[in-house]
A and B are shown apart, each in its own frame.
Chain A
């Protein structure tokens, strides 16, 4: 039986349009055999949560470079929990000051990938995490 593909939503919350990183990660995950949905630009947390439900994803990857993470991420996590999707793995890629990382992880962000991360590290993180979840 073919293994079920890992489903990932790559989303750009906030007003920022710099989508180079989001697109590269989307393509790298697709090349690694995952099913990837790219949200497009300027998504509110509400829009992202709705897409996550509709597409029944395992992972949500947020690309944030603008400094709006402390406002946007906790709200998205809350919305996902409300919709019964609290077990979705939520990742952030982008520019996040060291000082904010602990609080974001405590709020429920599974991992934060800073500038300079290789796409292979992101692929591996997601694959390992999904493998662990299947065992659990």
Chain B
């Protein structure tokens, strides 16, 4: 078998001395290129990607000297999966069009979900509000002003029942963007599924459950790393036994990129997070080929079309090599990296917001050509607020146009074999391996986080990028060039009545449920948390007695403590 863990060519963009152009290419340079440059110089001395990766004028066979198409490209559905994880890719089945949605109360979001499903959306994706993400009930003091603003407010199983009212969980797959309290929210979802009579063995969906990227980028953590990782592995273990089709994690580069990382950092930190989860799972005694097939990934789709495509292709190659070489995996289901993509929220401009439709379309096209399994396209108004129904519909239509009108789904990996795309894939892969080795040397991702390593790298990259934008070295249309007057758009506003409705509902819930039963089950959870048992069954029991999210998270806060970061600026 080939060694896909090593980059297949020694060429780097700044290592041009290793490049050996053919006599014909040299002749072209002399006869055609040089006279042209003498007459009209290029627009810049250096051309770079969004991530400031240098790009050559022209790519030729000389850039792929050590590259072996059989070994490095292979065939779709086979290692090293450069061309995609399925033999027929989007000819067989289109990606899942999964629009992230959530706002206000469970009733508000339930209505939006049913609208999106009626418009041809094929999967659900829940956005929770900040109090929910931080494990606080809607009536907690720190929730003031935040209830239902960035997502839907879910404080108990009662809210979850409303959220999925008349939506059959046996047929719909649901992705839930929830991390620190993932075990609790997942338990609520499973309880609703059970009530609907859906078979746990058959239901499918994803919980994000990726705590490492919270410490690195999004910062919605509650507990310190050690107990947080325990909770994650508890869900892996519970999932292997009870919900074999549910993805127990979505290891996310999206937020790392939004925090300002480069494409290579996004790829490297995400895959190294993946390695960290596998290591902790193995330490728990889980079997790699049993639990790794339920790990999924989530990447950003930024503006730089080819850099993004190279990133997805490199991701699959690195994960395959990691599973094979690092863990000795024998299961192709563990080798194949499956991923969701979301277009880059941070690329959207508040100015001239209709331009965002175009940005999103380009980004979505990159994700599709990179072989994504599911996709969220952002709405044009998201630099201002959560999307209106009008804006969300255009975003969904963007995917449908790519799927049915652009023709890019007619063949598998249409860019495979492009000198440029293959070279860039090699370079992105090699840059990511360098980071992965560096984090290995630091003692793994938890150790690297404790030393602030990934945060510092991201802060550096985001500052460099902002300086380049401020100096107009990078142009953002409508923001630092081609500026016109403002054209305001209608945006979705969430008022404080949501918070009042939620507070009233919680009050009623606390009055109607059995307080004794709640206390008993929370006490059992506390005892289990102090020991080493899997906490999922205890959390599930507490949820079913209508213990609230805040009560369950507080019980664990008492035992585990809370995490406070050392801020890196």
Contact = CB atoms under 8 A, between A and B. Distances in A.
Interface of A: 14-20, 23-24, 26-28, 30, 36, 38, 40-42, 44, 66-72, 95, 97-99, 114-116, 118-120
B149 interface: yes
Interface residues of B, number: 47
Contact of B219 (A17, A36, A72, A114): A17
Contact of A24 (B146, B462, B476, B496): B462
Contacts, number: 106
A41 B567 contact: yes
Interface stretch (B64-72, B167-175, B486-494, B549-557): B486-494
What are the 7 closest A-B residue pairs judged by CB atoms, nearest first? A17-B219, A71-B145, A68-B145, A67-B149, A15-B130, A116-B479, A115-B350
B150 A67 contact: yes
Contacts of B476: 116
Contacts of B564: 40
Interface string B451-492: 000000001001100110110000010011000000010010
Main secondary structure of the interface of B (DSSP, over half): loop
Of A44, A95, A97, A116, chain B has the most CB atoms within 10 Å of the CB of A116
B493 A97 contact: yes
B220 A17 contact: yes
A99 B146 CA distance: 18
Contact of B142 (A15, A18, A120): A15
A41 B145 contact: no
Contacts of A14: 130, 145-146
A23 B134 contact: no
B422 interface: no
A99 B220 contact: no
B387 to A, nearest CB: 13
6 contacts: A16-B146, A17-B214, A42-B142, A95-B350, A97-B384, A97-B493
A18 B383 CA distance: 14
Contacts of A24: 260, 462-463, 466
Interface string B143-155: 1111001100000
A27 B476 CA distance: 22
A71 B147 CA distance: 11
A72 B145 contact: yes
A121 to B, nearest CB: 9
B150 A44 contact: no
Nearest to B218: A17
Contact of A118 (B144, B218, B480): B480
B469 A66 contact: no
